Amino acid sequence: MLGTIFEHAKRKKLVKGNPAVGVKQYADGRQRRFLALDEIVTLGAAIRDAEAAGEGGTGLAGIRCLLMTGLRRIEALALPRARVDGRAHYIRFEDTKSGAQLSPIGAHAVKMLKNLPRRDGCPWAFPAERGDGHFVGLPKVLKRVCRRAGLDGVTVHALHHSFAATAAEMGFSELTIAGLLGQTIASVTDRYADVPDRALVSAADAVAARIAAALDSWEEGAEVVEFRGRG
């Protein structure tokens, strides 16, 4: 930042040189870790092992939800059940920076959300273990599951990236992936602020199905094979 300021000052002829030239910059800190398909298979096995060992189901369901929807942590954990439209396959977010927004979700994600245990009087899809709030302990649950799976460097945000990486591997375009992740795109969000984009819903369904097949591949004994599509 200081280097940028001095470069601007040089252009304005306010200083003769930039004292920040040559200073080593720190890494940008951006999250680039994501789970490849074989790692998702391994994570799925660890989730089942953790569940059998007594790990709480809410946190494990949260991991699956982020993988299959591409939602960010707070979007998923603070999700009221009433915002999920299982028939149209989308979630309505009322308070994003760009206003109301529809986020498409696949059939496997809809089924998972629908089958979550309900608590009387609790509006949250992922209720807290104690109290009336929503669940917040996902990072700790993920850390325990990844330790069991032998996976390193996996954060909650990496689950969000894994959904995008899977969509890219399947051949969907950057514009489609951006729409799936709820990023603001005028040509998409302006047109579909109140009506879900069926093409995005179809893409979300395909990506969720692929990730669900990897997570639960043991159930049918089927091999998860590479798929190439276009979006």
Q: What is the DSSP string of the chain?
A: -HHHHHHHHHHTTS-S--TTTTPPPPP---------HHHHHHHHHHHHHHHHTT--HHHHHHHHHHHHH---HHHHHT-BGGGEETTTTEEEEEEETTEEEEEE--HHHHHHHHTSPP-TT--BSSB-SSSSSB---HHHHHHHHHHHHT--S--HHHHHHHHHHHHHHTT--HHHHHHHTT---HHHHTTTSSS--HHHHHHHHHHHHHHHHHHTHHHHT----------
CATH number of 31-220: 1.10.443.10
166, 210 Cβ separation under 8 angstroms: yes
What's residue 8's pLDDT?
73
What's residue 118's pLDDT?
87
Q: Distance from CA of residue 53 to its chain's centroid?
A: 26
What's residue 104's pLDDT?
92
**112 — phi, psi (to 5°)?**
-65, -45
Overall average pLDDT of the 167-182 stretch:
91
What's residue 218's pLDDT?
54
Domain with CATH 1.10.443.10 in the chain: 31-220
Q: Of 9, 5, 178, 27, which Cα lies nearest the Cα of 103? A: 178
Residue 15 — very low, low, confident or very high, per pLDDT cuts 50/70/90?
confident
What's residue 25's pLDDT?
61
Residue 197 — very low, low, confident or very high, per pLDDT cuts 50/70/90?
confident
29-43, 120-134, 217-231: range with lowest mean pLDDT: 217-231
* pTM: predicted TM-score of the whole model, two decimal places: 0.76
Of residues 219 and 173, the one with the higher pLDDT is 173
What's residue 162's pLDDT?
96
Confidence check: pLDDT of 161 > 80: yes
What's residue 23's pLDDT?
72
Of residues 119 and 107, the one with the higher pLDDT is 107
Residue 21 — very low, low, confident or very high, per pLDDT cuts 50/70/90?
confident
What's residue 143's pLDDT?
97
Overall average pLDDT of the 32-48 stretch:
94
- Tokens 């199905």 -> residue: 209
Q: What is the 3-state secondary structure (H, E, C) of 52-75?
A: HCCCCHHHHHHHHHHHHHCCCHHH
Confidence check: pLDDT of 38 > 80: yes
What is d(CA 122, CA 61) in angstroms, rounded to the nearest whole number? 17
pLDDT per residue over 76-97, tens digit each? 999 999 999 989 898 988 765 5
Overall average pLDDT of the 101-106 stretch:
88
What's residue 97's pLDDT?
52
What's residue 123's pLDDT?
94
What's residue 75's pLDDT?
92
Confidence check: pLDDT of 100 > 70: no
